[in-house]
Structure 1
Amino acid sequence: MTAQDKFKIIYKTIQGSGIDATVFIPLNSKSSCPVIINIHGGAFMLGASEMVNQDQIQDCLDRGWIVVVPNHRLCPQVDLFNGPMQDCRDLLAWIYNGELERSIHQNSHPHIICDLEHVFAFGTSSGGHLSLCLGFGVSRPVAGILDFYGPCRFDDPFWTTGLPHIAAKLPANLSQEFINHVFAETPVPIRGGVSLEGQAGPAGPNFKDPRQAFAFTQIANGRVMDTCFPSRDWKMVDPILNISPQFPPTFIVHGLADTMVPISLSRALRKEMDKHGVQCQMVEIPDEEHTFAAKMKAA
């Protein structure tokens, strides 16, 4: 196991509030290090950088990679395009502008060099979507993308279909007034409840928290995308509508038993990439539901 160090850094300030990322350094690296951005899941409304799978981080460090795990502003106070997507794109620009390397040097690691020709993005669930969004709409895309069951194809009827197995978990006494307390949170949060992924915190949502109650209500009622991007101008936010021959090489992983983001959506994304000649592979995992990456261990 490679020795590591880590520190937090503010990569963006907006309306007086800082948005941070945790940077993990492979201390045994002797050369320039590739960089991987690891983006948490949480239906764009939940989660935090602390909740990503730590075994996956360690695996990257063992390979000599720098790992950057960002927070981003959470919906619904800000929409998907102007909040999570813009924050992650600003992080990518921050890395390419040399700010990551400068922050590493300022944190007592002057020998570490960032290999900016090899900056990659990886994410699970909504984090997979945000990773894909670093392949278009930016002046310099990432070099490659690892997408674990990220949502896409937002005009599919699935996104307006309720999920009875999630609705069954909602307490009967949840009121609209209570869950709407989420809109009173200020500044716009960058951390919120469970991530639906990762290894932090107790299992299952806390429905005494308005944000968690709000998010799971939207999921149960088939309103995630209408809530997170009310304009429905899908071209702005849907990776499948932005594939071109210049899109970065992409590897997709999806469970065959996924009921939260159906595998048909990733298959459609793979087909669109193939149509445009994008280097793409997809692995379908038998019997796995959504968020199975949380249970993965380093070999």
Structure 2
Amino acid sequence: MTTNNPLKVLYKEVNGSKITTDVYLPPSQASSPQKYPIVIDIHGGAFMLGHSGMVSIPQVNDCLDRGWIVLVPNHRLCPGVNLLNGPMQDIRDLLSWIHDGSLDAILKGQGSYQADLENVAAFGTSSGGHLALSLGFGVKTPPKAILSLYGAVNFSNSLWWKELPHVAAKLPKDLSPSFLQRVYDEFPIPTDSSVSLEGQTESGVSKGPDFSKPRDAFAFTQIAGGTVLDAIYPAGQTTDREYDLVDPARNVTADFPPTYIVHGQSDTMVPIELSRQFLGILKDAGVKCGMTEVPGEEHTFAAMMEVGSKTWWLQREGFDFLEGIIGRGPQ
């Protein structure tokens, strides 16, 4: 499947929400079945926005050039479901779907492709980075390697409750609580929104959020107010208020998958210090790990970077790390 026309497959349905993944296949001239490493690519959007069409296509193409099959999943969006029971559970179910043979059943109709279940990796941007890291614990068969690009971690850090005036300045002054609460009326729980945190749209044209939509207004209000965690994992929905079940930083052990981090040094939404702390936790546990800091880059830079730029080559170090562990596919 080309990056212009991925195969869209239903991998889960729950309470009316039909949850799909896009499947991208690398070029193949093989006449007999061959095994290809599998890489899961998870979109960002503060767990409340975005969809599978809003990932970086240059990153997908880089993965395809390495001979990897790329799965770009959707997941249910908060706040109609909490982080643990919604996005995390959906992505974990996708991993199980891969391992139970469902992906291979799809691939049989696409030529000579087979899933190399010994070499599955995951990466994501922002909230997608968190979801990739969340596959490193609480699952039967974790990925062989994980890449987090400015992912959300260390939820106990006070930075998560810091107000962001530069985001608040973009909000209309007349957003009423009753209007914002309409996001909870959405049923079935959506798995896509038209605008991502990066500002991308389905057409590829960059624009800001549409504040006439309750979801866009709600999400950016939470980001501006430093209340994202309370919106996606609210007190009262669980007895575990300290985020033990959802924070990768609290679940690193010696057998956590090899992990690489890429983060912009000028990130004002998920400060780079959070990733630096997480790298320290990985090192203390003896996990194979590494980190690339990208000078001058803000949050969500992967969406807008130019192929061949300094940023492009720096962030690519994360994919080289994955390749060093899962290898390349048949060429």
The answer to whether structure 1 residue 54 and structure 2 residue 63 are counterparts is no
Match of 1:101 in 2: 104
Match of 2:225 among 212, 221, 227: 221
Match of 1:156 in 2: 157
Alpha-carbon distance, 1:282 to partner: 0.4
Q: CA RMSD in A?
A: 1.6
User: Residues of 2 paired with 1:234 and 1:8: CA distance?
Assistant: 33
Match of 2:25 in 1: 25
Give the 5 Å matches for 1:132-147: 132-147=133-148
What runs of 5+ residues in structure 2 fail to find an aligned partner? 236-240, 309-331
Of the structure 1 ranges 24-33 and 92-101, higher mean CA displacement relative to structure 2 is found in 24-33
C-alpha contact (below 8 Å) 1:53/1:198 kept by paired residues? no
C-alpha contact (below 8 Å) 2:199/2:207 kept by paired residues? no
Match of 2:42 in 1: 39
User: Residues of 2 paired with 1:114 and 1:154: CA distance?
Assistant: 34
Give the 5 Å matches for 1:1-299: 6-28=6-28, 30=30, 31-105=34-108, 108-197=109-198, 199-200=200-201, 201-231=205-235, 232-299=241-308
Alpha-carbon distance, 1:3 to partner: 8.8
Alpha-carbon distance, 1:199 to partner: 4.4
C-alpha contact (below 8 Å) 1:149/1:254 kept by paired residues? yes
Alpha-carbon distance, 1:221 to partner: 0.5
Alpha-carbon distance, 1:58 to partner: 1.2
Alpha-carbon distance, 1:159 to partner: 1.2
C-alpha contact (below 8 Å) 2:97/2:103 kept by paired residues? yes
Letter in 2 for 1:182: V
TM-score norm. by structure 2 comes to 0.86
User: Residues of 2 paired with 1:234 and 1:38: CA distance?
Assistant: 24
Deviations 1:230-270 (A, max 9, x none): 13331100000000000001110001100000111000100
C-alpha contact (below 8 Å) 1:53/1:199 kept by paired residues? no
Alpha-carbon distance, 1:4 to partner: 8.3
Letter in 2 for 1:24: Y
User: Residues of 1 paired with 2:176 and 2:29: CA distance?
Assistant: 53
C-alpha contact (below 8 Å) 2:17/2:76 kept by paired residues? no
Deviations 1:166-193 (A, max 9, x none): 1111011111111111111100010013
User: Residues of 1 paired with 2:56 and 2:199: CA distance?
Assistant: 5
Alpha-carbon distance, 1:296 to partner: 2.9
Q: SS at 1:155's partner residue?
A: coil
Change (3 A) 1:256 1:29: farther
User: Residues of 1 paired with 2:42 and 2:69: CA distance?
Assistant: 14
Change (3 A) 1:3 1:126: closer
Alpha-carbon distance, 1:13 to partner: 1.2
Alpha-carbon distance, 1:16 to partner: 3.4
What runs of 5+ residues in structure 1 fail to find an aligned partner? none
TM-score norm. by structure 1 comes to 0.95
Deviations 1:122-158 (A, max 9, x none): 1000000000001111011001011000011111111
Match of 2:323 in 1: none
Letter in 1 for 2:288: Q
Alpha-carbon distance, 1:203 to partner: 1.6
Letter in 2 for 1:220: A
Q: Percent identity?
A: 53
User: Residues of 2 paired with 1:199 and 1:29: CA distance?
Assistant: 34
Change (3 A) 1:29 1:62: farther
C-alpha contact (below 8 Å) 1:52/1:198 kept by paired residues? no
